[in-house]
Chains A and B, each alone.
Chain A
Amino acid sequence: MVMVPKIKLTIDGKATEIAKGKTILQAANSIGINIPTLCHDPRLEPFAGCRVCMVEIERGNTNALITSCNTEATDGMTIRTNSEKVLKTRKMVLELILSDHPKDCMTCEKCGSCKLQDLAYEYNVRESRFFEQPDGGVVNDRNPVIQKDTSKCILCGRCVRICAEIQQDYAIDFKNRGFDTETGTPFGKSLLDTTCVLCGQCVSTCPVGSLVEKQAVGKGREWEFKQVKTTCAYCGVGCTMYLNVTGNQVVKVTSKVGTIPNDGNLCIKGRFGYDFIHHPDRLKQPLVKKNGKFEEATWDEALNLIATKFREIKAKHGPEHIGVFSSSRCTNEENYLAMKFTRAVIGTNNVDQCART
């Protein structure tokens, strides 16, 4: 084991000791002090674009304001995260951001889970002192899963960076200058005509309502959903994800940073591949074939028929004439019961999964 040297610093009057090489934000979080952030995502390299994570660092008479998400904590630092100067500046930063953001919370998909809304509420920013000129709006395109509202982008760069750093797909980037800056694709092409793989990682990290899951638009806000933690049913990675449910419907899939094994990342199948659940083709009733045609049956009829037939085959030909294929799509418990059923009830060891992959 390599021993990482420790450093000492004081944050809001609390002395602490942490491993060298951490940021001030990480140091504060490690002792339970919360610093607001917008452009920070622990999976990404620090960017320091939004400035809301500003803290004050004591340097004699020349106290400085610095962004905590990208500044390394060093030995002997004294930091204040909530001094008057910090709070005033942070409020002004929020006003600046809001000068280019529509006050559209009443119809916004993100209402209730928007970090900007939360901060505006916390810092009581109602009006911006600066001129307000949000432009753009919802992009109407043929993208089936991602909806973009250019007016709401706060240029935090999280979408750009997750696409570049984590996905390494480089589908989107910043373009233009100054007030006209926006995120987008080369030559304004549809995302569908770029290297984008529709993973939705950009949607999942966007702190505001600029990128949202299109299929969930109009289906409700976060507080109306029950979030059920579960494991993706597609590939062997087994990503942890959350099914967002209202009524008896799964309306979207979300993820959280810090979960095992995927740390909040999901691919297109996990994040957007849930619409099969409510597809009209789902089988809803047992079917029994009569004269070559399937007819609906009750569970009792269907199961009794199966029990009778299996008993007949067993009696006439012996249990080794019956087999069971279980599946990688079933849970462990179901696979266990399938093999127990084969061995204990049918009386054979003819049990296998046919896709042995």
Chain B
Amino acid sequence: MSFGSGSMTNSISEIKDCKLIFLIGGNPTEAHPIVGLEMKKALRKGCTFVVADPRRIWFAQHAKLYLPVRPGSDNWLLNAMAHVIISEGLENKEFIKTRTEGYEEFKAFVKDITTEKASEYTGIPAEDIRQAAGLYATSEKSAIFYTLGITEHTCGTDNVRTIANLALLTGHIGKHSTGVNPIRGQNNVQGATDMGCLPDRMHGYQYLSDSAVVDKFEKAWGVKLSRTQGATSPTMFERMSKGQFKGLYVIGEDPVMSEPNQNYTINGLNNLDFLVVQDIFMSETAKYADVVLPAASFAEKDGTFTNTERRVQRVRKAINPIGNSKPDWQIICELSNLMGYKMDFPSPKEIWDEIASLAPMFAGINYARIEHNGIQWPCPDTKHPGTKFLHEGKFTRGPGKFFVLPYRAPAESADKDYPLILSTGRTLYHYNAGTMTRRSAGSTYKTNDCFVEIHQVDASELGIFDGETVKIATRRGEITARAEVSDKVKKGVIWIPMHFVESAVNKLTKDAYDNITQTAEYKVCGAKLEKII
């Protein structure tokens, strides 16, 4: 990473004081509504918004500058902005000198990335790109916010680093209301990552490649550990599809709904010898399981979640588990005991104490300290107040590094047979696969059927009317959905939300992944739309 950590560098409470917000590939009013409210506060206080998104989202409508960027072309926009900043002499020379490395190569590289060229790829007028760069570079407190519109690409990691380049170029990092902020999609995705549910690291970002780390855990856990890096979920699915993977234990996930290319996912699961799914509902994935274990919901258990600003907060048990369900932690303990490894934690509090004892960045956090308010990691000792913003004075990795990242085309885009770009995402009213919100009166009242947003010009060319049910097809499958015709989405692009089982958009998406994070490309693939006669 450019700075040495992939989390929000600022806190939610700092958002309202931003002077400029560059929002790219994120729709906070729908996906993170309360962060959206903080941004609306900033807007009321006169903050300038520059919004880059293929859809005319709420903040696009209220932005000083709206850049309708073609899906998959963010790299051109960002590198061209860097080009403008350097060519107009708006870079922060002092910052570049004292806190970064790799500047000269970067400068040479972006020299050719002109706004005119970028305009061809992105569909944004060159002048707007120039203006966006100027606004970003010259504001006193500039913060960049991005979400899945940036990361869910085969070039997702490149995109993140290209964003970081802008912050390094201008020194807009490591200060109050100034930084680079990915907003995490799901409630505890930050926590799941922090807790080492990744094949290459233990919790607290302690990597297996460091043998001292493995030694430490072998000693603490009293067991010999494998030192070879494990497989990521895409790799596991690939091995499943070839029949080279036998057993899978899925806790609270629904890959059939959430993974791209649904047919491929289902084939993989069918090839397993044994599948266990642990969930609160009979999910689509659970249907393929050999054993389904009933889990308790968040209202039925104690524990902690870590939010997008790295704040570890308490979850408290309000009611007893429904029916014969049990909290996930208890199920894992019981299974572990049966398999001959003792896990006898009386409650989540003791589990947390073990977490804190084995990872320096959580060492100062305990249940007593977060009784009233959560604490933001890193928090190395029990006197430490937690960390509001990262990278003040210095970066985790030492000097911030500029990355030279030329454009890489998406794995698949629009072509002759599939002339539209399909992009997917979330809406305000539903959450992911919809298993929870689709069982909720308020949300289902607002939206309860799948829709496809299409630009009015494309619609009229295809003879499609607003409200009509249409067929959407890609090389992998087809679904039907209600057409929402407007000028919200860019011409040539269609957009479908991910929450609906009956029109599962992941029947359409492509199983292509970012080379580093292995995040799937949910944001671009070629598609066509047909009238149903």
Which residue in chain A gives the minimum CB-CB distance to B62?
A168
Cβ contact within 8 Å between B34 and A266: yes
> Closest CB of chain A to B235's CB: distance in Å?
9
Residues of the B chain whose Cβ atoms lie less than 8 Å from the Cβ of A331: 188, 191, 298, 301-305, 315, 328-329, 348
Given known A261-B11, A276-B297, A341-B336, contact A324–B34 (CB-CB < 8 A): no
Cβ contact within 8 Å between A349 and B355: no
A334-357 interface code vs B (CB 8 A; 1 in, 0 out)? 111111111111011111111111
B290-317 interface code vs A (CB 8 A; 1 in, 0 out)? 1111110111111111111101111111
Cβ < 8 Å to B, chain A residues 225-276: 226, 228-240, 243, 245, 248-250, 259-262, 265-269, 272-276
> Closest CB of chain B to A350's CB: distance in Å?
4
Docked Cα-Cα span, A305 to B289, in Å, equals 13
Given known A249-B319, A355-B253, contact A237–B441 (CB-CB < 8 A): no
Interface size of B by Cβ–Cβ distance < 8 Å? 144
A28 at interface by CB-CB < 8 Å: no
Residues of the A chain whose Cβ atoms lie less than 8 Å from the Cβ of B212: none
Cβ contact within 8 Å between B151 and A338: no
Residues of the B chain whose Cβ atoms lie less than 8 Å from the Cβ of A84: none
Interface range on chain A (Cβ under 8 Å from partner): 35 or more
Cβ < 8 Å to A, chain B residues 355-369: 355
Stretch in A9-17, A122-130, A283-291 touching the partner: A283-291
A192 at interface by CB-CB < 8 Å: yes
Cβ contact within 8 Å between A302 and B291: yes
Of the listed residues A165, A249, A284, the one surrounded by the most CB atoms of chain B closer than 10 A to its CB is A284
Docked Cα-Cα span, A192 to B186, in Å, equals 27
Cβ contact within 8 Å between A235 and B187: yes
A326 at interface by CB-CB < 8 Å: yes
Docked Cα-Cα span, A145 to B446, in Å, equals 11
Number of interchain pairs (Cβ within 8 Å): 455
B208 at interface by CB-CB < 8 Å: yes
Which residue in chain A gives the minimum CB-CB distance to B197?
A326
Docked Cα-Cα span, A283 to B328, in Å, equals 13
Q: Please classify the interface of chain A as helix (H, G, I), strand (E, B), loop, or mixed, using the class held by over half of its residues.
A: mixed
Given known A276-B436, A284-B324, A344-B225, contact A313–B336 (CB-CB < 8 A): no
> Closest CB of chain B to A193's CB: distance in Å?
11
A104 at interface by CB-CB < 8 Å: no
Stretch in A72-80, A172-180, A314-322 touching the partner: A314-322
Cβ contact within 8 Å between A343 and B226: yes
A217 at interface by CB-CB < 8 Å: no
Docked Cα-Cα span, A219 to B277, in Å, equals 35
Residues of the B chain whose Cβ atoms lie less than 8 Å from the Cβ of A305: 290-291
Which of B31, B188, B253, B295 is the one whose CB lies under 8 Å from A332? Answer: B188
Residues of the B chain whose Cβ atoms lie less than 8 Å from the Cβ of A192: 445-446
Given known A249-B319, A283-B295, contact A268–B428 (CB-CB < 8 A): yes
Residues of the A chain whose Cβ atoms lie less than 8 Å from the Cβ of B199: 349-352
Docked Cα-Cα span, A336 to B280, in Å, equals 20
Residues of the A chain whose Cβ atoms lie less than 8 Å from the Cβ of B189: 236, 328, 353, 355-357
Which of A248, A277, A332 is the one whose CB lies under 8 Å from B297? Answer: A277
Given known A167-B37, A228-B317, A273-B437, contact A349–B311 (CB-CB < 8 A): no
> Closest CB of chain B to A321's CB: distance in Å?
4
Docked Cα-Cα span, A320 to B301, in Å, equals 31
B318 at interface by CB-CB < 8 Å: yes
Cβ contact within 8 Å between A327 and B252: yes
Given known A349-B230, A350-B230, A354-B253, contact A332–B186 (CB-CB < 8 A): no
Which residue in chain A gives the minimum CB-CB distance to B15?
A261
Of the listed residues A166, A237, A284, A344, the one surrounded by the most CB atoms of chain B closer than 10 A to its CB is A237
Cβ contact within 8 Å between A238 and B307: yes
Which residue in chain A gives the minimum CB-CB distance to B332?
A337
Docked Cα-Cα span, A183 to B252, in Å, equals 43
Cβ < 8 Å to A, chain B residues 255-295: 255, 258-259, 273-274, 276, 279-282, 289-295
Docked Cα-Cα span, A15 to B339, in Å, equals 69
A329 at interface by CB-CB < 8 Å: yes
B419-442 interface code vs A (CB 8 A; 1 in, 0 out)? 000000000110110011101111
> Closest CB of chain A to B208's CB: distance in Å?
7
Cβ contact within 8 Å between A268 and B443: yes
Which residue in chain B gives the minimum CB-CB distance to A146?
B442
Docked Cα-Cα span, A109 to B350, in Å, equals 40
Cβ contact within 8 Å between B322 and A338: no
Given known A250-B319, A261-B12, A273-B431, contact A302–B293 (CB-CB < 8 A): yes
> Closest CB of chain B to A214's CB: distance in Å?
9
Cβ contact within 8 Å between B313 and A352: no
Cβ < 8 Å to A, chain B residues 462-519: 517-519
Cβ contact within 8 Å between B299 and A230: yes
> Closest CB of chain A to B182's CB: distance in Å?
9
Docked Cα-Cα span, A7 to B263, in Å, equals 70
Which residue in chain B gives the minimum CB-CB distance to A311?
B339
Cβ contact within 8 Å between A283 and B225: no
Which residue in chain A gives the minimum CB-CB distance to B352?
A333
B183 at interface by CB-CB < 8 Å: yes
Stretch in B90-98, B242-250, B399-407 touching the partner: B242-250
Which of A167, A303, A327 is the one whose CB lies under 8 Å from B192? Answer: A327
B13 at interface by CB-CB < 8 Å: yes
Given known A261-B13, A272-B443, A284-B325, contact A344–B341 (CB-CB < 8 A): yes
B152 at interface by CB-CB < 8 Å: yes
Docked Cα-Cα span, A97 to B266, in Å, equals 63
Cβ contact within 8 Å between A333 and B251: no
Cβ contact within 8 Å between A299 and B439: no
Docked Cα-Cα span, A357 to B292, in Å, equals 25
Residues of the B chain whose Cβ atoms lie less than 8 Å from the Cβ of A38: none
Docked Cα-Cα span, A192 to B429, in Å, equals 13
Docked Cα-Cα span, A212 to B186, in Å, equals 29
Cβ contact within 8 Å between A226 and B307: no
Residues of the B chain whose Cβ atoms lie less than 8 Å from the Cβ of A186: none
A309 at interface by CB-CB < 8 Å: yes
Query: Top 9 closest A-B pairs, CB basis?
Result: A284-B323, A238-B307, A331-B303, A349-B230, A327-B252, A236-B184, A267-B33, A283-B294, A335-B195
30 A–B contacts, CB within 8 A, in A order: A166-B40, A231-B314, A233-B297, A237-B34, A238-B307, A261-B12, A261-B309, A268-B443, A269-B443, A275-B440, A276-B440, A284-B294, A289-B291, A304-B338, A310-B339, A323-B231, A324-B249, A327-B252, A328-B186, A329-B298, A331-B303, A331-B305, A331-B328, A337-B345, A341-B336, A351-B230, A353-B197, A354-B255, A355-B185, A356-B520
Given contacts A235-B186, A265-B37, A341-B336, 8 further A-B contacts (CB under 8 A): A231-B298, A260-B374, A268-B446, A286-B293, A294-B292, A329-B298, A333-B329, A354-B258
